[in-house]
């Protein structure tokens, strides 16, 4: 039997999906997929992750066929765009060009510029063929193109304000609850949210993105390029870039205090932290916290940078677990120093695997042989065949059907992670597990 030592990575979708995920977070934007019809299915799925009413989707496809691949798809692109402009009362049309038009050389930019001038409606041209990379690449292309096309520098308004970037670029299906918690903290600190890129965001907010006093990135995975672009072009500082996101007790305190220090609201930040930590203690007094289950328990993490860094700190510092392996999907250079600083501060030495796919994750798990794993449904199946009987399913890249938003960030997020962890342990632990 032939044994494959590589895999087609199911952890991340293609760049076209990532771009769709970004633009569907804008209000009243029509999405046009310039590709064969199957690619439109991927783009349509992004609407669900952005909590868009499926009866109000504005999406179309040029439906490229074999003839178009031979003769070119520019005529079909132009025709479809004009039809969309007439049919949809949209504020913006976003064109997502897939693999086929890129391969055959369709001049997407020229066609969209010509139609834009004719119909009088802004059209965003995104060449995001799947071979360009994962959804992370598509997110970065879409966000930067959006800002380049629509935003411009402007005078700052009275009072501090921030742009919140890429809250959706997370393996937590309840990311909107994370965003809500961050907005609450900012409101308590007296900081206005200038624009969210992108979640239920009016196009006018993107146009005003150059007016913020700072950018906050709610992802370690995507969004770094647009933050650097706005820092250079609009003189908007990219803050809190060197610290973990607020996941777990210690990282939440560190993040809130850093935010308060930047805006000169240290006292208010300390009040937020003290109130949150008191709530955690008061809640756990009334609930069973089996810390002895986790003490020095050898475990592993398979996830993205956004959640894995704070989770690593939390399970090591607060649960006293022994993390022996960390596998990161689609690693980028911006977040590696943050993970490495956390590892150094905790005085631990787990095996770290960057850009992990299923094959490398399996090999690493076999090498390290932890007793449990923080991961997804994928790791549950991997671990079942390897004798690793406890899997904490915190990350959901494939089995993502959630009807309620729940945070992982902040104090409610800490309790949710504890709830998942203890419940998963109870349901899967067997004799011999501490």
42 and 86 belong to one structural domain: yes
Q: Sorting pLDDT into bands at 50, 70 and 90, what band is 198?
A: very high
What is the tens place of the pLDDT at every residue in 255-265?
A: 999 999 999 99
Cis bond before residue 22 (omega within 30° of 0): no
Residue 305 located in a structural domain: no
Longest Cα separation, the chain: 71
194 contacts: CB under 8 Å, gap ≥ 6: 161, 162, 163, 205, 208, 209, 211, 212
Residue 144 located in a structural domain: yes
**Is 80:51 a contact under the CB 8 Å cutoff?**
no
Enclosing domain of residue 210: 161-240
Higher pLDDT, 423 or 15: 15
- pLDDT of amino acid 434: 44
Show the tokens assigned to 63: 């439906």
Residue 288 in this model has a pLDDT that exceeds 80 = no
What is the tens place of the pLDDT at every residue in 220-256?
A: 999 999 999 999 999 999 999 999 999 999 999 999 9
Residue 175 located in a structural domain: yes
What is the tens place of the pLDDT at every residue in 89-101?
A: 999 999 999 999 9
Dump the DSSP string for 313-366: HHHHHTS--EEEEEEESS--TTTHHHHHHHHHHHT---EEESS--HHHHHHHHH
Residue 196 located in a structural domain: yes
Residue 168 located in a structural domain: yes
Single residue among 127, 150, 173 that ends a domain in this structure: 150
Residue 1 in this model has a pLDDT that exceeds 50 = no
Sheet strand arrangement including 192-197: 192-197, 161-165, 214-217, 238-239
Secondary structure (3-state) at 418: helix
- Backbone angle region of 159, left / alpha / beta, with phi > 0 → left and psi within -120 to 50 → alpha: left
- pLDDT of amino acid 73: 92
34 and 99 belong to one structural domain: yes
Burial readout 270-295 (b: 16 or more C-beta within 10 A, e: otherwise) = eebbeebeeebeeeeeeeeeeeebbe
60 and 117 belong to one structural domain: yes
Show the tokens assigned to 148: 């380049």
Q: Sorting pLDDT into bands at 50, 70 and 90, what band is 289?
A: confident
173 and 134 belong to one structural domain: no
When mean pLDDT is compared across 13-27, 104-118, 372-386, 399-413, the lowest value belongs to: 399-413
Domain count, the chain: 2
Residue 185 in this model has a pLDDT that exceeds 50 = yes
- pLDDT of amino acid 396: 66
Give me the CATH number covering residue 133. 3.40.50.1980
78 and 113 belong to one structural domain: yes
27 and 121 belong to one structural domain: yes
Intra-chain end-to-end CA distance of the chain, in Å: 38
131 and 219 belong to one structural domain: no
Residue 351 located in a structural domain: no
> How far is it, in rounded angstroms, from Cα 122 to Cα 136?
25
Q: Angle at which helices 37-49 and 15-23 pack, to 10 degrees? A: 50
Single residue among 223, 240, 257 that ends a domain in this structure: 240
Average pLDDT of the chain, as a whole number: 91
What is the tens place of the pLDDT at every residue in 134-179?
A: 999 999 999 999 999 999 988 877 789 999 999 999 888 889 999 9
Residue 324 located in a structural domain: no
Residue 31 located in a structural domain: yes
When mean pLDDT is compared across 135-139, 318-322, 374-378, the lowest value belongs to: 374-378
CA 369 vs CA 50, 311, 324, 361, 365: distances in Å: 37, 20, 9, 12, 5
183 and 215 belong to one structural domain: yes
38 and 85 belong to one structural domain: yes
- Provide the β-strand partners of residue 327: 302, 353
- pLDDT of amino acid 10: 65
Ranges assigned E (strand) in 250-304: 298-303
What is the tens place of the pLDDT at every residue in 60-84?
A: 999 999 888 888 999 999 999 999 9
Show the tokens assigned to 422: 């203890």
> How far is it, in rounded angstroms, from Cα 208 to Cα 140?
19
What is the tens place of the pLDDT at every residue in 46-55?
A: 998 898 888 8
154 contacts: CB under 8 Å, gap ≥ 6: 208, 210, 211
Single residue among 240, 265, 286 that ends a domain in this structure: 240
24 and 144 belong to one structural domain: yes
166 and 144 belong to one structural domain: no
27 and 123 belong to one structural domain: yes
């Amino acid at each position: 039997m032939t044994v494959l030592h590589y895999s087609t990575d199911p952890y991340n979708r293609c760049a076209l999906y990532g771009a769709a995920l970004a633009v569907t977070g804008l209000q009243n934007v029509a999405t046009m997929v310039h590709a064969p019809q199957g690619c439109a299915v991927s783009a349509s799925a992004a609407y669900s992750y952005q909590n868009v009413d499926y009866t109000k989707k504005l999406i179309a496809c040029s439906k490229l066929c074999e003839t178009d691949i031979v003769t070119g798809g520019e005529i079909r692109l132009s025709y479809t765009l004009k039809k969309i402009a007439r049919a949809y009362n949209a504020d913006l049309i976003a064109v997502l060009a897939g693999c086929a038009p890129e391969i055959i050389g369709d001049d997407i930019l020229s066609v969209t510029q010509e139609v834009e001038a004719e119909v009088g409606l802004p059209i965003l041209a995104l060449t995001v063929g799947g071979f360009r990379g994962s959804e992370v690449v598509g997110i970065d292309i879409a966000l930067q193109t959006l800002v380049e096309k629509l935003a411009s520098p402007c005078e700052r308004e009275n009072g501090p304000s921030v742009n919140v970037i890429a809250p959706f670029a997370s393996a937590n299906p309840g990311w909107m609850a994370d965003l809500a918690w961050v907005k609450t903290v900012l409101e308590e600190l007296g900081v206005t949210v200038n624009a969210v890129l992108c979640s239920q965001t009016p196009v006018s907010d993107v146009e005003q993105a150059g007016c913020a006093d700072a950018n906050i990135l709610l992802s370690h995975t995507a969004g770094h390029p647009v933050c650097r672009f706005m820092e250079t072009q609009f003189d908007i500082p990219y803050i809190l870039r060197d610290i973990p996101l607020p996941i777990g007790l210690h990282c939440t305190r560190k993040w809130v205090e850093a935010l308060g220090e930047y805006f000169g609201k240290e006292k208010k930040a300390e009040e937020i932290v003290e109130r949150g930590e008191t709530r955690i203690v008061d809640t756990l007094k009334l609930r069973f916290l089996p810390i002895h289950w986790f003490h020095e328990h050898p475990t592993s993490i398979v996830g993205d940078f956004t959640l894995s860094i704070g989770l690593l700190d939390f399970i090591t510092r607060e649960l006293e677990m022994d993390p022996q392996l960390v596998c990161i999907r689609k690693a980028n250079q911006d977040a590696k120093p943050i993970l490495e600083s956390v590892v150094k501060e905790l005085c631990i030495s787990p095996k770290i695997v960057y850009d992990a796919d299923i094959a490398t994750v399996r090999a690493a798990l076999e090498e390290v042989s932890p007793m449990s794993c923080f991961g997804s449904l994928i790791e549950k199946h991997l671990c079942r065949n390897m004798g690793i009987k406890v899997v904490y399913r915190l990350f959901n890249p494939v089995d993502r059907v959630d009807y309620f938003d729940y945070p992982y960030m902040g104090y409610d997020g800490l309790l949710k992670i504890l709830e998942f962890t203890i419940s998963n342990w109870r349901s899967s632990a067997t004799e011999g597990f501490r």
